[in-house]
Structure 1
Amino acid sequence: MSNDWDVIIVGGGAAGIAAALRLTASSLSTLLLEASPRIGGRADTVNVAGHALDLGCGWLHSADRNPWVDIAEASGFAVERRRPAWNQQYRDLGFPPGDQDASDDAYAAWHGRLLSDPPRSDCAADALEPGGRWNAYLQAMSGYISGVGLEQLSIADYLAYDTASTRNNWRVPAGYGALVSSSLPPGVALRLATPVEAIGFDAARVSIATRAGRITARTVIITVSTAVLTGGFIRLPAELDDWRHAAASLPLGRNEKLFLEIVGDNPFEPETHVIGDPRKPSTGSYYIRPFGRPVIEGFFGGEGAEALAAHGPAAGFAYAIDELAALFGSNVRRSLRPLVVSTWSRMDHIGGGYSYALPGKAEARVTLARPFDGRLFFAGEATETHDFSTAHGAYQSGMRAADEVMAALRPSAP
């Protein structure tokens, strides 16, 4: 296989796959390098106990304008358009209707202050009601949405996503990760388990150092996460300091999932949902029997995800079962068996869930998306100004970067 290419794509997640899809329309020789043994990045469907489970992204957010919907249907993947049960607490367990109304009112009041009178600090926590009864609930919501507590969250960034969202969220029964990973064009050269160690410049070429040797290209599209860009995993030249600083302003939030299998007699109804304890910022969000399958998907963000990562899978499963037993009764313990848990924050080639902007740093997304010298181009969900934190945002960024590459390499008119 050649070691000199027109385009090298670094990272085989949704952005890298999208760039590869776009570049197949050109005559440019293209190589995709992926650090892990699989493609898909933060889209990862695993098959456990006969169930297709998404450890990463699982919902087609803003589905009515999400390009993965058309890709799914063109590729023979079914799309489930049923509305999620997120805003419902099954049988009001542990969350009486009066408290649900009060927490909704607290969220609406906080959100209204972001819109009408945002603090000059651009810090989302500064819009909380001092000592507010439902502040812990708002922190839990921030963990699910952004992967971080409100103290670290830019208001401008949060509102950019919130305003752009269409609130339509659909699913792929076969798995969002399966859809993303199956979308890599067969004609694109791929090297798995090939982490990039350094990027440099060699005359008119870009030099890529890997464990398998040196590769060169006319252009490179970098799609890795902000945690990888700032974590020293790839040595970057000093000319890219602005991009590295931008990435540091867009850290990855903490988001993890775990799945429990349901066995025997149990009270769990299909397509229902509960929050473990709405008074704790570390609480889990539990989607019960998605698609009617005998599983419960536990989703943890921010403080809850940090605890899961710090204490390990066994403690995470125990915590989730304790929360469910507190709602459904201790007898459910015999019906719940650990299946699988994600470890995004522990993966060197990923390093967390999805990006958020620190207060005052929302514009870093624009900086991170800028090309450098007509040779380096940047993609990935963190480079999107409105659809960050999503697989469709990553897809759009990959398409944009591929278009920039093709424009840069287009022969000049005589």
Structure 2
Amino acid sequence: MMSLPSSIDVAIIGAGAAGLGTAHALKNSGRSVIVLEARDRVGGRGHTIQAAPNVTFDLGCGWLHSADRNAFVKIADELNFEIDRTLPPWRERGYGKSFPPEERAEFFRALDEFFERIEKAAQSGRDSPANLYLEKGNRWNPMIDAISSYINGCETDRLSILDFDAYEDTGINWRVRRGYGALMAAYGASLPLALDCQVTLIDHSAKRLRIETSKGTLTADKVIVTVPTNLIADEAIRFSPALPEKVDAARGLPLGLADKVMLALDEPELLPADGNLRGATMRTEMGTYHLRPFAQPCIEGFFGGKFAQELEDAGDGAIAARAIDEIVSFLGNDFRRRLRPLKESRWAHDPFARGSYSHALPGHAGKRAVLAAPVDGRLFFAGEATSPHFFSTAHGAHDSGERAAREVMAALSFRDRA
């Protein structure tokens, strides 16, 4: 951990995937750089914990999405982190009688047809809420909304079809055996960091920018802001002069909510490794469960959207209690004694995240470019919400950090030539 300097060439706000990508890109630039992080750790919404001696748990991002285009795959190789290439259990390897194969097939047909209708509608260039493209009266609509809450952090009525269609997914999804958050922590270990350093104000009224933090004040030539949109929207970090267009863009790109819970599983041999458990549930208020990830003795549950918010608001332990009740309803009462809560995420109540990942509200798909645009060649923005095609992912955040670093270097080079 660095002590806070009084003056720096480039200050990076936030040590999540975007801030780390930015700092690494500037590492050999010949400029002085510091990363200011409000938490006592790096990684942001990537955080691995040891939930039990034999259970590793990614509280935040856990999948290397679009792994064939994901910068963290190469980073993992360089840092000797093992990549697990087992296929995700989302469609295949359904387990139990609660969601029979014929009903699973029917549901996935309905889901794919919904996605196809959105793709076709998006070709017009006109935005609208995704729920308009649910087939009227389809029995699977509530579950489609639940799936949207896992994918997007929100239900379909809050989802822009243009934004959803802009997302690029190669369909290759891998995992980091020791944890995605652990990989980010290792990636950030060599960087100039000031932890427990909460930024409250960025004053860009003078030639040099003044940054007020919980550890004092410093000035910088350039500042790169990589914090989640909800912090900008709530003005947890203030700008002077104010930047209403940035606040407006952030409010159009809110962080939805996707929470996880990890349950210890006694007699794990009773369930298959990397299986998927879900009910043929005709409601949106449902979880989905990854059985024994990495063959560990545990079950990982996922909840999203309004339901995840309700469970968070109900207090610590509510997500685990709901997950256990639902799993028991699928597998039988004998399983209640085999399940024990270990840890659950509560991203909406995390003061430095206030949600999980961004989605564009209907009519706001163009706000990603607005949020990403530099201000006056001195103030720059990165983060997953600024990624045009890989938003909501750690690698999208990382790549946006590299983009912001290039913008900073171009601005510095121009100044040096002037």
- Normalising by structure 1, we get a TM-score of 0.96
Match of 1:57 among 54, 61, 65: 61
Structure 2 unaligned regions, length at least 5: none
Q: Does 1:155 align with 2:161?
A: yes
Q: Look up the match of 1:99.
A: 103
Distance 1:397 1:299 in 2: 27
Deviation at 1:175, TM superposition (A): 0.3
Distance 2:384 2:95 in 1: 37
Match of 2:31 among 28, 33, 48: 28
RMSD (Å) for aligned C-alpha atoms: 1.6
Matched to 2:319, the amino acid is: G
Q: Look up the match of 1:133.
A: 139
Distance 1:201 1:367 in 2: 18
* Closer, same or farther: CA 265–288 of 1 in aligned 2, 3 Å: closer
Match of 2:18 among 15, 40, 57: 15
Distance 1:25 1:261 in 2: 45
Q: Look up the match of 1:272.
A: 275
Deviation at 1:303, TM superposition (A): 2.8
Match of 1:208 among 207, 211, 223: 211
Q: Look up the match of 1:144.
A: 150
Q: Look up the match of 2:228.
A: 225
Q: Does 1:76 align with 2:47?
A: no
Deviation at 1:127, TM superposition (A): 0.8
For residues 282-321 of structure 1, the aligned pairs below 5 Å read 282-321=285-324
Determine if contact 1:14/1:41 at 8 Å carries over to the other structure. yes
Identity %: 43
Distance 1:213 1:276 in 2: 52
Match of 2:179 among 157, 170, 175: 175
Determine if contact 1:147/1:354 at 8 Å carries over to the other structure. yes
Matched to 2:71, the amino acid is: P
Determine if contact 1:21/1:185 at 8 Å carries over to the other structure. no
Deviation at 1:412, TM superposition (A): 3.9
Q: Does 1:353 align with 2:366?
A: no
Q: Does 1:256 align with 2:262?
A: no
Distance 1:230 1:40 in 2: 21
Determine if contact 2:268/2:292 at 8 Å carries over to the other structure. no
Deviation at 1:232, TM superposition (A): 2.3
Per-residue CA deviations over 1:336-371 (Å, capped at 9, x if unaligned) read 000001111001111001000000111100000000
Distance 2:222 2:101 in 1: 57
Distance 1:67 1:110 in 2: 31
Distance 1:265 1:334 in 2: 12
SS at match of 1:401: helix
Determine if contact 1:273/1:288 at 8 Å carries over to the other structure. yes
Per-residue CA deviations over 1:53-104 (Å, capped at 9, x if unaligned) read 1000000000011010000011100001111111136345211223222212
Determine if contact 2:103/2:280 at 8 Å carries over to the other structure. no
Distance 2:128 2:376 in 1: 32
The count of aligned residue pairs is: 411
Determine if contact 2:205/2:241 at 8 Å carries over to the other structure. no
SS at match of 2:334: helix
Deviation at 1:125, TM superposition (A): 0.5
Matched to 2:328, the amino acid is: A
Per-residue CA deviations over 1:219-241 (Å, capped at 9, x if unaligned) read 00000000000112112234411
Per-residue CA deviations over 1:134-153 (Å, capped at 9, x if unaligned) read 11011011001101010000
Per-residue CA deviations over 1:154-210 (Å, capped at 9, x if unaligned) read 00111111xx21010000010000101211252x32111111011112521111111
* Closer, same or farther: CA 265–95 of 1 in aligned 2, 3 Å: closer
SS at match of 1:198: strand
SS at match of 1:313: coil
Deviation at 1:304, TM superposition (A): 2.8
Q: Look up the match of 1:124.
A: 130
Determine if contact 1:277/1:283 at 8 Å carries over to the other structure. no
Deviates more, 1:320-329 or 1:276-285: 276-285
Distance 2:75 2:99 in 1: 39
SS at match of 1:183: helix
Deviation at 1:47, TM superposition (A): 1.1
Distance 1:73 1:288 in 2: 27
Per-residue CA deviations over 1:11-44 (Å, capped at 9, x if unaligned) read 0100000101001020110111111111100000
Distance 1:123 1:102 in 2: 24
SS at match of 1:90: coil
Determine if contact 2:288/2:302 at 8 Å carries over to the other structure. yes
